[in-house]
Amino acid sequence: MTFRRVLIANRGEIAIRIARACREAGLESIAVYSDADRDAPHTCAADRAVRIGAAPATQSYLSIDAIVEAARATSAEAVHPGYGFLSENATFAAACERAGLVFIGPSAGVIQRMGSKVAARELMSSAGVPIVPGVTATDQSDAGILSAAGQLGFPVLVKASAGGGGKGMRAIRDEQSASELIAAARREAIAAFGDGTLYLERLIDKPRHVEVQVFGDSHGNIVHLFERECSIQRRHQKVVEESPSPALTEPVRARMTEAAVAAARAAGYVNAGTIEFLLEGSGDDARFYFLEVNTRLQVEHPVTEALTGVDLVRAQFTVAAGGRLPWTQPEITRRGHAIECRIYAEDPAGGFLPQAGPLLVYREPGGPGLRIDSGVIEGGTVSVHYDPLLAKLTAAAESRDAAIARALAALKRFPILGIRTNVPFLIRLLEHADMRSARVHTRFIEDHALELLTARDTPVEALAAAAAIGPASETLPSSAGTPPSTASDPWATIRGWGR
C-alpha cells in the first residue's frame, strides 16, 4: 500500500506540523480551511488548500462529508486527522475507509472500542492492566447511579462512558451533593457526546497523570517511547507536559511501559497512540491505574520527539502505508529532559476566558534546545470559532532544572501583544517552588490558584523585546488598531513558504 498525497483534516499548528512532515517525506500535502481560516498560516504551509465550509466547526472541520469530498476532489489517497475535531471519531475513520482513503491512525473498530470508557476498562482488565476500582450501573437512571456510588463508597468520580477531556465528569464527595452532580454530568455527557451513559470510579485524590506513548504496526510489532508527565492540568486539560516523569522510579517505569504495551497489544493497536494512567503514591511502591487510550497523535508529542530524537508523524506515514515500525524497542533511547508549555489566547486572571482579536505583536524566541509549534503569525487574527491554542513551546536540555530554566528564559522573551495570553501565568507556574521540586498533582493549579492567578503586568522582558523590534513597537500602547507593518519581513509576503 502506498500513497503520495495526504489531506490534512485539521487546522492550526498541528496542520502545519503534518505539512512539514509531508514535505520531508516527499508527499504532497493538502490543507482544508473554513471561511474563517481562508488566509490562515496552515493554508500556506501545505502544497494546496481547499475550502470545506463556513466558519463554525460543525459546518467545516467536523463535517465528515465535506472532508471526504475534499479528499476525492483533490485525488488525495490518505487522510491525517491530527488531534481534536474528528481524530477520534470512528464514523469518520470508517467513512475514509469506505471511500478508499488511507486513514492515518488506528482502525475504526479500535477507535470505537477504545472510545467507550466501559469497553476499554473491560479489555484492559482482561489483559492484566491495572484499572481503578469502578462499576457501570445496570440501572442508568440517576437513582441507579446514586445507588452504585453508595455501594462503591464515597468519594467517587462519575464519568461519561463515551467521552474524554473532562466532559461529563464530576467528583462526588458525599451523598448530599450526589444527585445534583450526577444530573449535571449526564447533561454535559449528552450535550458533548450524544450519550448519557455514566460509570463510576473510586476517586483517587490528587494523583499524578502519567501517559505512555505507544506505536504499533500491522506486522504485530508494538513498542513504547517512554512516558510523559501531564499532571499540570486545568479542568482536566493539560497545560504543561514533561518527560521523563520525575515521579517514576525505574522499577515503576518498567512496569508501566510494559502494561502500556500489553494494553496496545490487547486492543490490536496500529499507528500512534497513548495509554494514560493515574499514579498514586511514590517510590518503588507507587501504584498506577489505567485511565484511557487516546487513539491519535497527542498535542504533546513534541516532548517525546525531543527526548528520543524520533519523528512520530513520519513514522505514522510509514505504518499507514503498510510498512514496519522504523525502530525496534532496543533502538529507542532517551537523552536529557524535555518540557512543553501550551500557550493559549486566554485571560487567566479573568477565569481563563478565551481571547480573540488581532495579534499586533507575535515574535517567537529561538535558541539551542527550543522548539516552537505554532499556528499563528504576527498581524493575523485569533478566531472566536476554534480552540485558543496559539503555540507550544518545547525546551530540551541535559536535566530537568536546565529544561525548566530554558523554557522560562524563552517565555520571558516571547512578546505577544494585542490579546491576553497565559504566558505570564506559565512563567509563575514554572517559577513555583513546588513545580521546581516536582511536587505536583492533577489539582496543582486549583490548589495554588491564589499564587498563580494574581494579576501581573506584561513581563518587562517581553516589553523590552517588543520595543526593540522596530515598527511593531508603535502598537504597544494600544490593544486594538491596524496590524503592524510587515514590509521589512520578506517571509511574511511569500505564500506557500512553510513557517
Give the catalytic positions in this structure. Answer: 296
Say if residues 8 and 80 touch (Cβ distance below 8 Å).
Answer: yes
> Alpha-carbon distance 432 to 428, whole Å?
6
Cα separations in angstroms, 203 against 132, 163, 399? 9, 18, 33
> Alpha-carbon distance 361 to 462, whole Å?
10
**How many Cβ atoms from other residues are within 10 Å of residue 437's Cβ?**
9
What DSSP designation does 484 have? P
Cα separations in angstroms, 104 against 77, 111, 273? 11, 12, 12
Cis peptide before 244 (omega within 30 of 0): yes
Spatial CA neighbour of 186 closest among 206, 174, 172, 176: 172
Say if residues 272 and 315 touch (Cβ distance below 8 Å).
Answer: yes
Measured in whole angstroms, the distance separating CA 450 from the mean position of its chain's CA atoms is 26
Only one residue has cell 520595543, namely: 467
Compute and round to an integer the Cα radius of gyration of the chain.
22
> Alpha-carbon distance 320 to 309, whole Å?
21
> Alpha-carbon distance 299 to 374, whole Å?
12
Name the β-bridge partners of 370.
395
DSSP-assigned states of every residue in 300-369? THHHHHHHH---HHHHHHHHHTTPPPSS-GGG----SEEEEEEEESEEGGGTSEE--EE-SEE-----TT
CA torsion angle 424 429 430 434 (round to 10): 160
Burial annotation 21-44 (CB, 10 A radius, 16+ → b, else e): bbeebebbbbbbbbebbeebbbbb
Beta carbons within 8 Å of 268's beta carbon, 6+ residues apart: 107, 110
- The x, y and z cell numbers of residue 447, run together, are 490548589
**How many Cβ atoms from other residues are within 10 Å of residue 335's Cβ?**
11
